[in-house]
Structure 1
Amino acid sequence: MATTNAPAPAALGPVPFRDLCGVRPVSDVTTRSADNKLWLQRYQGTWVLESWVPGIMAIQRSFVPRRGDVVLGSPPKCGTTWLKALAFANMSRAAYPPAHPEHPLLRLNPHDCVPFMELLFATGTRKESKMNALPSPRLMNTHMQHSILPASVTTDQNLDCKIVYICREPKDMLVSLWHYTRRALPDVSSFLDVFEPACEGKCLCGPIWDHVLGYWNASKASPEKVLFLRYEDLLSDPVENVRKLARFVGQPFSVSEEEAGVLMDIVRLCSFDKLKNLEVNSADPSSDFANDWYFRKGEVGDWANHMTPDMARRLDAIVEEKLSGSGLSFL
């Protein structure tokens, strides 16, 4: 277990998962099959990695939320790493002041702090017990669609467990997913290897539109239970969105915290440039999978460097048709 001179955590969570169990709560979305391919499996109406199915089934069967638990939901490559950092820094600020020089996020990747449920539960009861050992409130994340989350999490009557969801403009999401997967999988070379299946709905955790709509509709039906965020909004106004996040999880910033600059300290600590340039998140040529994979550009509109206008119009038309009547749009 890592040691640090940071302030000792209070009795309440969240605490860095890696500090508790001594290993990374794995979150590599490109977990491979034995023959080095990315195998998707149809499961309860959505496409998921074959290796995730046992974990999803275990979550549906046995996960019991506690009062104060927060589940971070997202499709892959939509700001998950950033949201993990912001939520962890926000919810743990009493134990780990964001301006402290030994803050956990300065020595650990955000994925070391917030466990990924699908793979954690897939490893069996030993790792599940680590989740149970976390002090409340617990913070965790999932790429599952809302429709396959366990009823213990989604029921409107259970406000003990809240969901914070982040999505991203689908074209930028696909470009980011392509850059990520091609580093791990030799059979993913052309952008079309990601684009064409996505247009057909066969995308990791897809169809994309079903993933977004599920959480969007849930947020409209139960805004006190599901907070719906857009990556682009978070990028354009991080201060207000961090303030919104704090209110939603029941830890609003006090007047004294605002005046002391605690909110701004969190925004600075979790900024893309700050996290990307930390030693813990730098490239590791000796590793098959390194933390720098989570930090590429973080920009809006990078899709224009990889898609033709016809490709962009095609995907836009599909997504908008699927979202029609929902009140949600990416155009």
Structure 2
Amino acid sequence: MSSGGGDGKPGVTFSVIPETLESPYKDLFPAFENKGLVRAEPGGFVCHQNFAENCHKIYNMKVRTDDVWIRTFPRSGTTWTSELAWLIMNDCDFEGAAKVGLPIRSPNLDANYINHWDKFAAEGSFNTMDIITIDQIEKMPSPRVLKCHLPFYLLPPNLLDTAKVIYVARNPKDAIVSLFYFHKLVNLCTYTGDLEQFVDFFLENKVLWTPYFGTVLDAWGKRSHPNLLILFYEDMKKDIRAQIKRISTFLNKPVTEEQIEKLVDHVRVDKFAKNESVNYAKEIKAGVGKDDPTNTFVRKGQTGDWKNHFSPEVNRKIDAWIEKNLEGTGLKFVTELKDQ
């Protein structure tokens, strides 16, 4: 499965990850129907075969100068940041935001390809009304606020020199826990095992969207580019007002103190979790996920929740992995906050 550079496709080759075709993996990830996942080289990005077959559609998108692209590793503040960016770009139109769901207002480019949406729709498994195709995204009016979980090398080559890009990084410990619960919730990537097994698959880069440090360090290395703003989830938790001001300044869209206070209140976790425009409750009820009040799309939003999940042995394993990958990068993460 090849995508050579210079022909309108990213210069990567996708190959099936052998272990994802074997037990115990194929039994623990039944949504992939024993077909496993594929890995892009160079870069190592792990994805569904459906993405590999369609990656050129995203790579060849026409980037606009007034675009805002939100990039994250999954479960790292994607929804939070895209809602803020959309509101800031649209003069804090809270009424408009309430009328149209965030998946429509700020679509996720790679959401179409984490599995075969069309197949499930044909079976009547769930309603795909809030999935926006790349062709539809190309026709959206400006300014567009788009989001994705892809590394730069799978995105349009002129993206960073053309549009504003916001990258949000979350400490990997909490990102792992949140992605585990995501796999428990969403039927497109169902995982039936325990957290300890999931951590092993994650650190071995056998989970969708891994390697974690592949996307984070990819963005970190470009942090001096004037069109790139790097935010940290933990800074947003600690002082959301300051980060709203940073986003506003970066996007050249001034907000008043009154608007800032409304934005702060709008994205409080307790209110966000109940906001059907952003919490994917409608999609989950339609069959995209499991209707489980103990595991919702918008969860705790806490920094340090990993302490309630990792055994000392697992935590040491993750610490060693983090230390190895951050060596010499200058990047550091906050993994605990006292007040949040």
Calculate the TM-score normalised by the size of structure 2: 0.74
Map of 1:67 onto structure 2: 65
- CA–CA distance in 2 between the matches of 1:112 and 1:59? 17
8 Å CA contact 1:165–1:215 kept in 2: the answer is yes
Map of 1:136 onto structure 2: 142
CA deviation after TM superposition for structure 1 residue 242, in Å: 0.6
Asked if residue 118 in structure 1 is aligned to residue 110 in structure 2, the reply is yes
CA deviation after TM superposition for structure 1 residue 131, in Å: 1.7
Letter in 1 for 2:76: C
Letter in 2 for 1:130: Q
Secondary structure in structure 2 of the residue aligned to 1:115 = coil
1:204 to 201, 205, 208: 208
Map of 2:157 onto structure 1: 151
Deviation per CA, 1:142-179: give whole Å up to 9, x if none.
1101232221214xxx2x31110111111111111111
- CA–CA distance in 1 between the matches of 2:49 and 2:296? 22
Map of 2:20 onto structure 1: none
- CA–CA distance in 1 between the matches of 2:190 and 2:106? 29
8 Å CA contact 2:58–2:134 kept in 1: the answer is no
Map of 2:338 onto structure 1: none
Asked if residue 305 in structure 1 is aligned to residue 308 in structure 2, the reply is yes
Secondary structure in structure 2 of the residue aligned to 1:137 = coil
Deviation per CA, 1:73-107: give whole Å up to 9, x if none.
0111111111111111111116x2x4xxxx23334
2:219 to 212, 215, 222: 215
8 Å CA contact 2:71–2:166 kept in 1: the answer is yes
Map of 2:125 onto structure 1: none
CA deviation after TM superposition for structure 1 residue 123, in Å: 8.5
Map of 2:96 onto structure 1: 104
2:329 to 303, 306, 326: 326
Map of 2:129 onto structure 1: none
8 Å CA contact 2:109–2:134 kept in 1: the answer is no
CA deviation after TM superposition for structure 1 residue 187, in Å: 4.3
Task: Tell me: CA distance 1:77–1:37, structure 2 relative to 1, closer, same or farther (3 Å).
Answer: farther
- CA–CA distance in 2 between the matches of 1:142 and 1:327? 25
Task: Tell me: CA distance 1:64–1:307, structure 2 relative to 1, closer, same or farther (3 Å).
Answer: same
8 Å CA contact 2:280–2:297 kept in 1: the answer is no
- CA–CA distance in 1 between the matches of 2:190 and 2:141? 41
CA deviation after TM superposition for structure 1 residue 52, in Å: 2.2
Asked if residue 277 in structure 1 is aligned to residue 302 in structure 2, the reply is no
Deviation per CA, 1:240-295: give whole Å up to 9, x if none.
10110011112133xxx22xx01111121122211212355485685322598321
Map of 2:53 onto structure 1: 54
Map of 2:230 onto structure 1: 228
Map of 1:171 onto structure 2: 173
2:317 to 314, 318, 330: 314
Letter in 2 for 1:210: G
Asked if residue 80 in structure 1 is aligned to residue 78 in structure 2, the reply is yes
Secondary structure in structure 2 of the residue aligned to 1:68 = coil
Deviation per CA, 1:40-91: give whole Å up to 9, x if none.
210132112333223322111x211111111100111111111111111111
Letter in 2 for 1:40: L
- CA–CA distance in 2 between the matches of 1:36 and 1:205? 18
1:194 to 195, 198, 210: 198
CA deviation after TM superposition for structure 1 residue 186, in Å: 5.3
Map of 1:242 onto structure 2: 244
Map of 1:7 onto structure 2: none
Q: Structure 1: which 5+ runs fail to align?
A: 1-31
Letter in 2 for 1:93: D
Calculate the TM-score normalised by the size of structure 1: 0.76
Task: Tell me: CA distance 1:37–1:93, structure 2 relative to 1, closer, same or farther (3 Å).
Answer: farther
Moved more, 111-120 or 281-290: 281-290
Moved more, 71-80 or 43-52: 43-52
Aligned residues: 281
Q: Structure 2: which 5+ runs fail to align?
A: 1-28, 119-131, 335-340
8 Å CA contact 2:168–2:232 kept in 1: the answer is yes
